[in-house]
Amino acid sequence: MNDLNGKVAVVTGGVSGLGLGMAKALARAGCRLALTYRNQAHADAAAQWFKANGFEAPLLVKLDVTDRARFAEAANEVEAHFGKVHILVNNAGVSVFGPTDEASYADYDWIMAVNFGGVVNGLVSFIPKIKAHGEGGHIVNVASMAAYLAGPQAGIYTASKFAVRGLTESLRYNLAPYNIGVSLMCPGLTRTNAWDSALKRPEEFAGSGFGAVDAQQLETFGKAFDLGMDPEEVGDKTMKGIRENSPLILSHPEFAQDFKEIYEASLAALPDEQAPPERLEIERLRREANRAALAGQVISLDDLT
């Protein structure tokens, strides 16, 4: 989408941190905004910023992204207010850390419900509306570099981001025939308050296997976020990805070594042997179907065999 002027964009968790950085970039590109929020003080501060900088007031929509019924209502509210929706940025998430081998069901249920389930709820609520007007659009699913890089303190968080990555890469093929672009956005360390998620854990998920939160330890860890990239810079790089319909938006340059190691380890893990012609043909058909999907063809199971 090269011309974004007048397009309607929805950003979940769009009143603080990375979401607000993206919202500001969208506003500068001429978009009209609907921003979801949970914290009223953050919503008020965001509204004041847009007013002070001469932008149209965003529609502020209170929303817990895990609430499917409320998400559907929110989508209807946005459509009723603006008439159409063109861009969806699924940004809301929680960053919670702890040893995966000690995690409880509550840890899994909460983190996956927000980080993956929230994306799903956004897609189910808004894709039909974007498809219906026929003008095309774009979806950005915000993951993290954890969609590629695992670590000992972020197993469930990493699982949620890997899930968002896989869903996004597949969805791109499905929506190309409708002129709807799809991008996976994977930021690195960003100057936000994402580190304090564990301090806001809902009561229904209180039974953590990670033990009681050490607020002082968490705050010390949070100081690393002060060294992160400005959220507005990440927002500007995301805007470039939307305009170019990039399948993958990477905002931080410091991960070349990691990607090289992943690439080399993946190649080294492949068996050094020749695959039979029948299997090679199936994979050829898969690759052709993917290319055809990106060119605008709707793919069925018949195209894969």
**Whether 162 and 187 share a structural domain:** yes
**Whether 203 and 279 share a structural domain:** no
**Whether 90 and 211 share a structural domain:** yes
Alpha-carbon distance 8 to 105, whole Å?
A: 38
**Whether 224 and 299 share a structural domain:** no
Q: Is residue 261 part of a domain?
A: no
Position 217 scores a pLDDT of: 81
Compute the mean pLDDT over every residue in the chain, rounded to the nearest whole number.
95
Q: How many domains does the chain have?
A: 2
- Rounded to two decimals, the pTM is 0.95
CATH code, domain carrying 176: 3.40.50.720
Domain holding 172, by residue range, is 8-255
**Is 37 one of the catalytic residues?**
no
Alpha-carbon distance 45 to 35, whole Å?
A: 13
**Whether 219 and 276 share a structural domain:** no
Alpha-carbon distance 175 to 180, whole Å?
A: 5
**Whether 153 and 177 share a structural domain:** yes
**Whether 141 and 287 share a structural domain:** no
pLDDT string in tens for the chain (305-residue length)? 878 999 999 999 999 999 999 999 999 999 999 999 999 999 999 999 999 999 999 999 999 999 999 999 999 999 999 999 999 999 999 988 899 999 999 999 999 999 999 999 999 999 999 999 999 999 999 999 999 999 888 999 999 999 999 999 999 999 999 999 999 999 999 998 877 787 788 889 988 998 888 778 877 877 888 899 999 999 999 999 999 999 999 999 999 999 999 999 999 999 999 999 999 999 999 999 999 999 999 999 999 88
Q: Is residue 262 part of a domain?
A: no
**Whether 171 and 32 share a structural domain:** yes
Q: Which one is catalytic: 108, 157, 173, 178?
A: 157
Question: If DSSP codes are grouped into helix, strand and coil, which group holds residue 12?
Answer: coil
**Whether 245 and 303 share a structural domain:** no
Alpha-carbon distance 224 to 97, whole Å?
A: 14
